[in-house]
C-alpha cells in the first residue's frame, strides 16, 4: 500500500471520527441492545472486532467515538451472553432480516461502472463479478462497484415486491417491519416479531424459497388443461386477483406480455410461429385479462408455450434477495445511522409509506458542510443531493465534502496534498 493510499485512509477515518463526535446521539440502538452482539470493521487492516456488548446506547456511542470503525454492525440474534464466544453465547432467537442489494440484481449499467480484476492473473472485466476467473479459474478478485441511480431504483423495485409479499402473503403488519437504506447499493428490511424469532435456518430457508419462487410449478397454481365442450382440451389459468403465487403468476404474465418485444419472447425460447402469433394478437391478448386471462384463446399458442411465458412471469414477480442473510440466524447487520465505509453515506430508516418517492442520494448524506480538494483517477457521472458531478478522469477537483468522500471511500480518488 502506497503512502498516499495510507494518507487517504487516515483522512477518511478522521472525517468519520468527526461525524461520530458530533452525531453520536443520533445512533439508533437495536431493540434489547443488551442482548445483541456488536462487531466493528476497523480501518487498519480491515480487521473485524467482534463479540462486543453494550448495556445502553450511551456506552455504544462512546465506543463508536473511541474506535471510529469503518463499519458498525449488530447481531440479528438475541443472546443471553452476547460478549462470549459463539458457542457460549446461548442463542435466544433472531429477527428476520432481508438484504436487497444491487449486487444480486443484473442491471445494464453494471457493465459501465462495475469492474473486477483477478488477484491471481490480473485479468480484468466489467459487469457482474464471476464466480471464478474465466482465465485461471481462481475465485479471488479486487472488485469496484458503484451506487448509481439505476442500481438503486432496481433495488427499490425488488424491495417493493418483497414488502408486498410480507404483507399480503405472510400477514406481517407495518408495525412489525422496519425498512432501511443500507448506505450503499440497497435496502435492509427487518421483521421484529415473536412469531419469527424462534425460527431456525431451515424454516427461514422455506420463507426464502417462497419469496424467490424456488420450485414453482405453474400447473399447481391453476395453469392446467381441462376438458371443455365436445371433449376439446381447454387451457385455464390463474386470475390477476388471485391470492398468493397464483395471482403473482397471472400479473407477471400480463406485465411481461404488455411490454415484450419479439426478441424478449425469443429469449424464453418460444418458436418463431408462436412469437409471430403473440405479436399479431397482442391487443386481444391483453384485453382478455379483463375477463379471465388469455389462456388458450389464441390459436397457435400451445400449452407448452404458455407455460414458458407464465414461468417467466413468475420469475419477474419473485424478489431478488441475498438468501444467505435471511437464513443466517447469527447474522451481523449494519447499525442504523452509522456510516458506510464504502460511501461515507448513512444507513437510515425509510418511512414505508413514502418509500416509492424516497431518494437515498439526498436523505443519506452525512456530511453537509465544506468542500475538499481531491485528485480523481476515474469516476462516472453521479448525483448527490441536487448536484450532478463528473465524469472525471485523472483530474483535480474541489467538491462538497459528501461527494469527495464518496469518491475517496470508493477508492477512485486521493486527497490532494497541500504544499
Task: For domain 3-99+153-207+323-366, give the fold.
Answer: DNA primase, PRIM domain (3.90.920)
Gyration radius from the chain CA atoms: 25
Whether 244 and 366 have beta carbons less than 8 Å apart is answered as no
Predicted confidence (pLDDT) at residue 114 exceeds the cutoff of 90: no
What whole-number distance in Å separates Cα of residue 403 and Cα of residue 185?
16
Predicted confidence (pLDDT) at residue 419 exceeds the cutoff of 60: no
Predicted confidence (pLDDT) at residue 205 exceeds the cutoff of 60: yes
Q: Which residues contact 340 (CB under 8 A, 6 or more apart)?
A: 71, 182, 183, 184, 334, 346, 347, 409
Interval 370-384: pLDDT, tens: 999 999 999 999 999
Q: In what order do the strands lie in the sheet with 48-52?
A: 48-52, 38-41, 71-75, 332-334
Tell which CATH architecture fits domain 218-317.
Orthogonal Bundle (1.10)
> Which residue did the predictor score with more confidence, 96 or 286?
96
Interval 115-159: pLDDT, tens: 888 998 988 888 878 889 999 998 888 888 889 899 999 999 999
- How many other CB atoms are found less than 10 A from the CB of residue 111? 13
CATH tag, 369-419: 3.40.5.50
Report which of 116, 183, 192, 198 is spatially closest to residue 152, judged by C-alpha positions.
Answer: 183
Residues 71, 95, 101, 114: which is the catalytic one? 101
What separation in angstroms does the CA of 361 have from each of 276, 344, 345? 44, 12, 9
Q: What is the pLDDT of residue 100?
A: 97
Q: What is the pLDDT of residue 230?
A: 59
- How many other CB atoms are found less than 10 A from the CB of residue 157? 15
Q: Is 99 a catalytic residue?
A: yes
Of 78-87, 124-133, 228-237, 249-258, the range with the lowest mean pLDDT is 228-237
CA 65 from chain center: how many Å?
29
The residues pairing with 332 across neighbouring beta strands, listed in sequence order, are: 75
- Three-state DSSP state, 4: helix
Q: Is 101 a catalytic residue?
A: yes
Q: Go through the chain and tell me how many residues it has.
A: 419
178: cell is 422496519
What integer is the mean pLDDT of 281-294?
A: 79
Predicted confidence (pLDDT) at residue 264 exceeds the cutoff of 90: yes
What separation in angstroms does the CA of 99 have from each of 162, 184, 188, 416? 10, 12, 5, 36
Q: What is the DSSP string of 16-36?
A: HHHHHHHHGGG--PPTTGGG-
Q: What is the pLDDT of residue 228?
A: 60
pLDDT category of residue 109 using cuts at 50, 70 and 90: confident
Residues 322, 328, 359, 378: which is the catalytic one? 322
Q: Give the rounded percent of residues in the chain with a pLDDT score beyond 90.
A: 74
The residues pairing with 334 across neighbouring beta strands, listed in sequence order, are: 73
pLDDT category of residue 234 using cuts at 50, 70 and 90: confident
Interval 339-373: pLDDT, tens: 999 999 999 999 988 899 999 999 999 999 999 99
Averaged pLDDT of the chain? 92
Name the H helices within 281-400. 282-287, 303-317, 323-327, 360-363
389: cell is 458531478
Residues 71, 95, 99, 114: which is the catalytic one? 99
Q: Is 378 a catalytic residue?
A: no
Predicted confidence (pLDDT) at residue 2 exceeds the cutoff of 60: no
Amino acid at each position: 500500500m502506497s503512502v498516499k493510499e495510507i494518507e487517504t485512509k487516515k483522512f477518511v477515518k478522521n472525517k468519520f471520527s468527526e461525524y461520530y463526535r458530533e452525531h453520536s446521539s443520533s445512533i439508533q440502538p437495536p431493540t434489547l441492545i443488551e442482548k445483541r452482539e456488536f462487531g466493528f470493521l476497523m480501518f487498519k487492516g480491515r480487521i473485524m472486532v467482534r463479540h462486543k456488548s453494550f448495556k445502553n446506547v450511551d456506552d455504544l456511542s462512546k465506543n463508536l467515538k473511541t474506535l471510529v470503525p469503518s463499519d458498525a454492525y449488530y447481531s440479528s440474534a438475541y443472546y443471553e451472553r452476547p460478549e462470549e464466544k459463539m458457542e457460549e453465547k446461548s442463542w435466544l432467537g433472531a429477527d428476520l432480516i432481508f438484504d436487497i442489494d444491487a449486487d444480486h440484481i443484473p442491471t445494464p449499467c453494471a457493465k459501465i461502472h462495475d469492474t473486477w480484476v483477478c488477484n491471481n492473473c490480473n485479468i480484468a472485466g466489467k459487469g457482474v463479478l464471476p464466480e471464478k476467473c474465466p482465465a485461471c479459474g481462481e475465485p479471488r478478485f479486487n472488485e469496484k462497484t458503484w451506487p448509481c441511480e439505476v442500481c438503486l431504483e432496481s433495488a427499490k423495485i425488488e424491495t417493493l415486491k418483497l414488502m408486498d409479499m410480507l404483507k399480503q402473503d405472510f400477514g406481517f403488519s407495518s408495525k412489525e417491519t422496519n425498512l432501511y437504506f443500507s448506505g450503499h447499493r440497497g435496502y435492509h428490511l427487518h421483521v421484529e416479531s415473536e412469531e419469527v424469532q424462534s425460527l431456525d435456518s431451515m424454516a427461514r430457508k422455506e420463507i426464502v424459497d417462497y419469496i424467490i419462487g424456488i420450485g414453482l410449478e405453474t400447473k399447481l397454481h391453476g395453469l392446467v388443461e381441462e376438458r371443455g365442450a365436445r371433449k376439446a382440451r381447454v387451457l385455464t389459468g390463474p386470475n390477476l386477483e388471485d391470492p398468493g403465487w397464483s395471482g403473482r403468476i397471472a400479473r407477471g404474465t400480463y406485465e411481461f406480455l404488455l411490454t415484450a418485444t419479439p426478441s424478449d419472447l425469443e429469449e424464453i425460447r418460444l418458436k418463431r410461429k408462436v412469437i409471430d402469433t403473440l405479436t399479431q394478437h397482442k391487443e386481444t391478448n391483453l384485453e382478455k385479462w379483463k375477463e379471465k386471462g388469455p389462456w388458450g384463446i389464441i390459436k397457435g399458442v400451445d400449452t407448452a408455450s404458455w407455460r414458458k411465458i407464465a414461468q417467466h412471469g413468475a420469475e419477474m414477480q419473485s424478489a431478488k434477495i441475498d438468501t444467505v442473510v435471511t437464513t443466517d440466524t447469527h447474522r451481523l447487520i449494519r447499525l442504523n445511522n452509522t456510516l458506510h465505509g464504502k460511501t461515507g453515506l448513512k444507513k437510515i430508516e425509510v418511512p414505508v409509506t413514502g418509500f416509492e418517492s424516497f431518494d437515498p442520494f439526498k436523505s443519506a448524506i452525512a456530511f453537509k458542510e465544506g468542500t475538499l480538494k481531491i485528485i480523481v483517477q476515474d469516476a462516472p457521472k453521479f448525483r448527490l443531493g441536487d448536484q450532478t458531478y463528473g465524469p472525471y478522469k485523472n483530474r483535480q477537483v474541489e467538491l462538497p465534502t459528501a461527494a469527495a468522500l464518496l469518491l475517496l471511500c470508493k477508492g477512485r480518488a486521493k486527497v490532494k496534498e497541500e504544499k
